[in-house]
Amino acid sequence: MARPGTHSARLRVWLLLVAVGLTVEPVCGVWPLPQSIHQSPDRYSLSPQLFSFTYGKDSAAQTGCSVLDAAFNRYFSIIFPDFTKGPENELRYWSESIPFVVSVSVKSRGCDGYPDEDSDESYKLSVADGQAVLRSATVWGSLRGLESFSQLVYQDDYGSYFLNKTEIVDFPRFAFRGLLLDTSRHYLPLHAILKTLDAMAYSKFNVFHWHIVDDPSFPYQSRTFPDLSKKGAFHPFTHIYTQSDVMRVIEHARMRGIRVVPEFDSPGHTQSWGKGQPDLLTPCYKGDVPSGSFGPVDPTVDTTYTFMERLLKEVKYVFPDSYVHLGGDEVSFSCWQSNPNVRKFMGKMGFGKDFTKLESFYMESIMNMTAALNKTSIVWQDVFDYRERIPQDTVLEIWKGKGYQAELSRMTKAGHRVLLSAPWYINHISYGQDWRISYAVQPQNFSGTEEQKKLVIGGEVAMWGEYVDATNLSPRLWPRACAAAERLWSDEEKTLNADLAFPRLEEFRCELLRRGILAEPLYVGHCKHEYNGL
């Protein structure tokens, strides 16, 4: 079992790596693995009393920078969790310790903005005697560097803090490293979402894909259409996200360099929408009469587009990210087919009996609306599968497990940017170490040119909610999602061996526990700081 955070564990891992002949450097516990890291056995002791974060003299960001000021406080508590508990050990190290300063320098300020698709997350971290220097182009890069720094610190068996002389040059392999939560099949309380954002930052995820509404419930409290949640949520008060809740999520995410991309999936997956928005969904027919049940959004009436435009305008206003996910997956055609008005419309439009054309017609309208609002659309692969010619800057997301490599080829050949999620549907659980399956994924391993490979902008871990709510979310996500996090951040060449990753992931899992994330065990063993079950 792992004894994380101790020098002996690090030594063991080091010896292991030496033994398998891959490297002669000590491995660091940083997860995901930095692009380049050099560590030496020289170690420096840290005293909480004499430890500080500071802004470099040449830094564009200085005290008052919201993102970094808060990060300094957060990481101090993460690195020295015991220190904040009481004053009794305040002076313990005083006599024997020397100060340690982490100096953070940022090229451009941008403390009050939001991370976006072009955010530079690279950083350089140099740890030497008495000081560490962290340099980055943006505050988002500093956040990544602070996270790595926090993972370098460890305690020996006497509780003293140390870190080794280290040089890190780091940047993400993919710009888009997402995690999807589904708050429709089960409602997730705000606290569960915020905790997930914390853990995402520890793994350097940078996009929270909020699959906020779907068939079962509509928890988003719209200011324009309050009836949507009033009638479509599981409960109009206890099971909704108010505007203030959404703002809290976005701000919590921003402080951690995480984008919030909401998904308003249509025309399918909209049963709950129909409750608060009459005439939005297609009435299904049994023979010549309405059956009383409803199908996907009705794409044949003007009111649908008026509604969607107003909703998307609100979404643009509420969610600052330049991306919005429009769904477009799994549309069942049987209800459309049963409806005489829809059939008439099909004839008028010359669609024949091809309902994929009707869906494409709808999605194109919605995507154009989104473009007019200056937003980039993400859609599920179905939209591409139905009609290859869609607006060029639309991002396509692959969710079907079968043949996803071929789909990557086709989509990138058509010049589209692509997100890969199919192999990371980690709501699908199985017995044992299934993180290894996620870890083995190679997102650029498909037939295509170098240009095509570059169109893979990243991927997403998906935690769909059929069987998941706040009771089991955290241990199902962590540390299983960490496997994809490393695949999306690190150099694939250096991280394909899951056996080598195992002790580092085990150590990281214990670190997640220590930080209050209910991450489940990878295998038999224990952590120094266990969850106490309360």
The least distance separating a second copy from the CB of residue 532, rounded to whole angstroms, comes to 5
Q: Does 187 bind a second copy (CB under 8 A)?
A: yes
Considering beta carbons, is residue 74 or 195 the nearer one to a second copy? Answer: 195
Q: According to CB under 8 A, which one of 216, 257, 296, 327 is a site residue for a second copy?
A: 216
Q: Are 389 and 424 in contact (CB under 8 A)?
A: no
The pair of three-digit structure tokens given for residue 59, joined into one six-digit string: 């830094």
Beta strand 417-420 pairing with 395-398: parallel
- Three-state secondary-structure class, residue 532: coil
Print the SS3 string covering 106-151: ECCCCCCCCCCCCCCCCEEEEEECCEEEEEECCHHHHHHHHHHHHH
The least distance separating a second copy from the CB of residue 439, rounded to whole angstroms, comes to 16
Q: Are 256 and 142 in contact (CB under 8 A)?
A: no
Q: What is the CB-side half-sphere exposure of residue 356 using CA atoms within 13 A? A: 8
Of 103, 256, 283, 127, give the one whose Cα is nearest residue 193: 256
The least distance separating a second copy from the CB of residue 238, rounded to whole angstroms, comes to 8
The least distance separating a second copy from the CB of residue 183, rounded to whole angstroms, comes to 11
Residues 309 and 383: their CA atoms lie apart, in Å, by: 19
**Segment near a second copy (CB under 8 A); pick from 331-339, 350-358, 442-450, 470-478:** 470-478
Q: Are 53 and 75 in contact (CB under 8 A)?
A: yes
The pair of three-digit structure tokens given for residue 213, joined into one six-digit string: 């509404």
Q: Which of residues 353-382 bind a second copy (CB under 8 A)?
A: none
**Segment near a second copy (CB under 8 A); pick from 135-143, 283-291, 303-311, 423-431:** 423-431
Q: Does 472 bind a second copy (CB under 8 A)?
A: yes
Q: Does 239 bind a second copy (CB under 8 A)?
A: yes
Rg (CA), the chain: 25
The pair of three-digit structure tokens given for residue 389, joined into one six-digit string: 């010619």
Considering beta carbons, is residue 488 or 522 the nearer one to a second copy? Answer: 522
Q: Does 531 bind a second copy (CB under 8 A)?
A: yes
The pair of three-digit structure tokens given for residue 404, joined into one six-digit string: 């996803």
The least distance separating a second copy from the CB of residue 16, rounded to whole angstroms, comes to 19
The least distance separating a second copy from the CB of residue 529, rounded to whole angstroms, comes to 9
Q: According to CB under 8 A, which one of 19, 24, 289, 534 is a site residue for a second copy?
A: 534
Q: Does 431 bind a second copy (CB under 8 A)?
A: yes
The pair of three-digit structure tokens given for residue 417, joined into one six-digit string: 């940017």
Q: Which of residues 95-114 bind a second copy (CB under 8 A)?
A: none
Q: Which of residues 21-50 bind a second copy (CB under 8 A)?
A: none
Residues 203 and 226: their CA atoms lie apart, in Å, by: 36
Q: According to CB under 8 A, which one of 79, 188, 358, 482 is a site residue for a second copy?
A: 188
Does 330 qualify as catalytic in the annotation? yes
Q: Does 217 bind a second copy (CB under 8 A)?
A: yes
Q: According to CB under 8 A, which one of 284, 335, 456, 519 is a site residue for a second copy?
A: 519
Q: Which of residues 473-492 bind a second copy (CB under 8 A)?
A: 473-476
Q: Does 516 bind a second copy (CB under 8 A)?
A: no
What are the CA-CA distances from residue 418 to residues 359, 380, 393, 410 (Å)?
Answer: 21, 10, 10, 10
**Segment near a second copy (CB under 8 A); pick from 26-34, 168-176, 258-266, 459-467:** 459-467
Q: Which of residues 296-315 bind a second copy (CB under 8 A)?
A: none
Q: Which helix (H) or strand (E) holds 243?
A: helix 243-254
For residue 479, whether the previous peptide bond is cis, meaning omega lies within 30 degrees of 0, is: yes
Residues 196 and 190: their CA atoms lie apart, in Å, by: 10
**Segment near a second copy (CB under 8 A); pick from 37-45, 392-400, 405-413, 519-527:** 519-527
Which member of 251, 330, 388, 530 is catalytic? 330
Cα angle 503, 507, 511 (rounded to 5 degrees) comes to 165
* DSSP 8-state symbol, 431: S
Considering beta carbons, is residue 18 or 518 the nearer one to a second copy? Answer: 518
Q: Does 526 bind a second copy (CB under 8 A)?
A: yes
Of 354, 420, 423, 417, give the one whose Cα is nearest residue 387: 354
Residues 257 and 244: their CA atoms lie apart, in Å, by: 20
The least distance separating a second copy from the CB of residue 198, rounded to whole angstroms, comes to 12
**Segment near a second copy (CB under 8 A); pick from 88-96, 185-193, 222-230, 333-341:** 185-193
The least distance separating a second copy from the CB of residue 471, rounded to whole angstroms, comes to 4
Of 354, 520, 492, give the one whose Cα is nearest residue 35: 492
Number of residues located near a second copy, criterion CB under 8 A: 49
The least distance separating a second copy from the CB of residue 521, rounded to whole angstroms, comes to 5
Contact residues toward a second copy (CB under 8 A) are 1, 185-192, 195, 216-217, 234-235, 238-239, 427-432, 465-476, 513, 518-526, 530-534
**Hey, which residues are catalytic here?**
330
